[in-house]
Amino acid sequence: MVLKKDDDARSEKKRRKVNFSTIDVGVEANDCIKFFLVSSHEEMDRSEGSGVQVDMNQFFGEDGKIYGYKDLKIHIWLSIISYHAYAVVTFESKLDGSKGITNVDQVLKNIFGESLISEKDDFAQTFSRERHYIRDIVSTAEVLKKYSSEDEVVRLKLNEPSVGKLYSRLIPVLLLLVEGSSPVDTTDPRWEIYLAVRKAVDQSGDIHCLLLGFATIYHFYHYPDASRLRIGQILVLPPYQGSGHGRQLLESVNAVAVSGEDIYDVTIEEPSEYLQHLRDCVDTVHLLSFEPIKLCISSMSSKLKQGGLMKKDQKVRFSPSASIVEEARKGLKITKKQFRRCWDVLVYLSLDPNDSCSTENFKTCLSNRLSSEVFEKDSDIRGKCVVDIPNKYGPEKTFVMFRSNSMGEASTLSADIAKSKAGEEEQLKQLVEVRMKEIVGVADKVAANCKKLGIQPFQ
């Protein structure tokens, strides 16, 4: 019997060792979680084979893994009617009582908060019980733009109780779909939210309202008597992406800025790569019809068409004048930095795509400007050495600076500088390639839109 107990103890120890190795390895959250956006309880059963791509790893520790479960599956449904959530967690086995086990239920509560519903029947009832949730909130909103028979952009104050409650339900969507996002303070009266909504009338004459996307806007004080509109967050929900709703939200913000005498300019807080691309397209289109810039673009285009421009001898000023930048800021509320991005696209659009000479000159000027912006600010310290000179009064405050020559330690320094310059040239080449890709991408999109409208840029 003693031997039998020892065998059982060894077997139990071995079993527990195998199970705890599962905890040590874990499983990435993205591999076991599926996320669905649904507009009815019937869609829940039809959505099993598909889902929205979201990064769930960010919510599960530094390594993004879930520990202590075998064959773990988590399905999460989010209602795009009321923005309640419902989750189902299943697994083959779980190690109970271990400190290493991930508390999945608690993590889900941390993400969805009060909008998380524990019972499927209760979740299903929200589709009918709150079918007019969005409609009731936007019923008193200011309509900023109606861009189709059903779609429009409206504006609301975030510190209004019902609007703040809606935003609290949208926070999980932001956290899941917008990388690096964080909630804003809904009690601050300077926050607004712009909603892109779709209003449709059913056969009985009842009006239904769907939320397509939204943007949060903050009014910053700008000395002495103006305010700066900053777009904090902007998101179009996955079912409605690719249909121009994000552009309509941006256009609405710009329209509010241009129409307001006390608005200084419009900025965006840490825009994603796609949002920056969209903003470049929108602002470039606005600048195409901005009369003060046309002569400047024409002059720049003419210079780029005149022969080859050698990098060392290049004297063409590639940046717009300060006065033009200021006029664009006053007339279109475009910031200096954003204007310069659009300037590159406008100059590129003014060139003949079949003229390889002017295109090459464009790249040369762009390269020189990027080099000046990124590297030349440090050129005054290259080739200089600093040597401490000890003395009895203040050894830590005394030094001599001299420029190196080709002898002794200066020779080593010169070699280091040569390596540094080679590295800078490679970095500059990569910067130019990236920027050219951005410029061409925006230019192609703008040119396509102009073609649809029968507009010929700068011709």
Pair 277, 244: CB distance under 8 Å: no
List C-alpha distances in Å: 195 to 213, 246, 306: 6, 10, 49
Does residue 77 sit in helix, strand or coil? strand
Number of H helices, E strands in the chain: 14, 16
Whole-angstrom distance, CA of residue 259 vs CA of residue 253: 10
Whole-angstrom distance, CA of residue 197 vs CA of residue 144: 11
The CB-based long-range contact list for 59-62 (8 Å cut-off, 24+ gap) reads: 59/29, 59/107, 59/110, 59/111, 59/175, 60/29, 60/102, 60/107, 61/102
Catalytic residue among 12, 48, 179, 269: 269
Whole-angstrom distance, CA of residue 292 vs CA of residue 64: 52
Written as one letter, the residue type at 292 is: P
Does residue 152 sit in helix, strand or coil? strand
List C-alpha distances in Å: 391 to 22, 56, 386, 399, 400: 65, 61, 16, 10, 13
Is residue 269 annotated as part of the catalytic site, yes or no? yes
Q: State the DSSP string of 243-281.
A: SSHHHHHHHHHHHHHHH-TTEEEEEESS--HHHHHHHHH
Cis peptide before 224 (omega within 30 of 0): yes
Query: Could you give phi then psi for residue 166, rounded to 5 degrees?
Result: -60, -45
Does residue 388 sit in helix, strand or coil? strand
Does residue 391 sit in helix, strand or coil? coil
Q: Which residues are catalytic?
A: 269
